[in-house]
Amino acid sequence: MRKWLVPVVALAACSGPTEKSDWERQHETQLPPPEVSVALPAYPAEQRLIEFFVAATSEFRFFIDSASVSVGRDGVVRYTLVARNPAGADNVSFEGMRCNTAEVLIYALGRDGGWVRRAGEWRSIEGSRVQRWHNALYREYFCPQKEPIASRQEGIASLRRGGHSMYEENPRGGSGSGW
């Protein structure tokens, strides 16, 4: 019994805090910060939902719960998304959006009127036909010029207006979105 105890104790003594490599030290400012534990918002209520446009061809209707919109110190815009199918069934998720890298993360899914945390990774927001709602939120509401909205109020105003004020018609004609 003592024969295996000595090597284990010796290994434990050698395992102190690990030192960062030169590459890690040089690139740590370029890496996104580790995701902190995010508090989940109240479950969405019908009276707080704001509908937003995704595409004329979509059978689903999309909503954001106005009470859930926030902008963290980390620059992540967080919100509760409700996707309602034609039969009236809702798919609910609490998500975060990184504007500077055009990524989205799902923190939790709605189930039976409550939240179920989801361990996920940041995914790129694609300009494809799949999950167009993320592209719409990114381009038209929460990330004008690839920068996060400045406040919760700005996000809610963008949703109620049907797009960010930066993209309103300009006096020369055409929209300012450049998309």
Q: What residues in the chain have per-residue pLDDT under 50? A: 4-17, 27, 30-34, 169-179
Q: Tell me, yes or no, whether 4 lies in a domain.
A: no
pLDDT in tens, 71-109: 999 999 999 999 999 999 999 999 999 999 999 999 999
Q: Tell me, yes or no, whether 6 lies in a domain.
A: no
Domain with 131, as residue range(s), is 46-162
Q: Tell me, yes or no, whether 19 lies in a domain.
A: no
Distance between CA atoms of 115 and 41, rounded to whole angstroms? 9
In the chain, how many domains are there? 1
Q: Tell me, yes or no, whether 125 lies in a domain.
A: yes
Q: Tell me, yes or no, whether 78 lies in a domain.
A: yes
Q: Tell me, yes or no, whether 29 lies in a domain.
A: no
Q: Tell me, yes or no, whether 108 lies in a domain.
A: yes
Distance between CA atoms of 65 and 83, rounded to whole angstroms? 11
Q: Tell me, yes or no, whether 62 lies in a domain.
A: yes
Tell me what pLDDT residue 37 has: 79
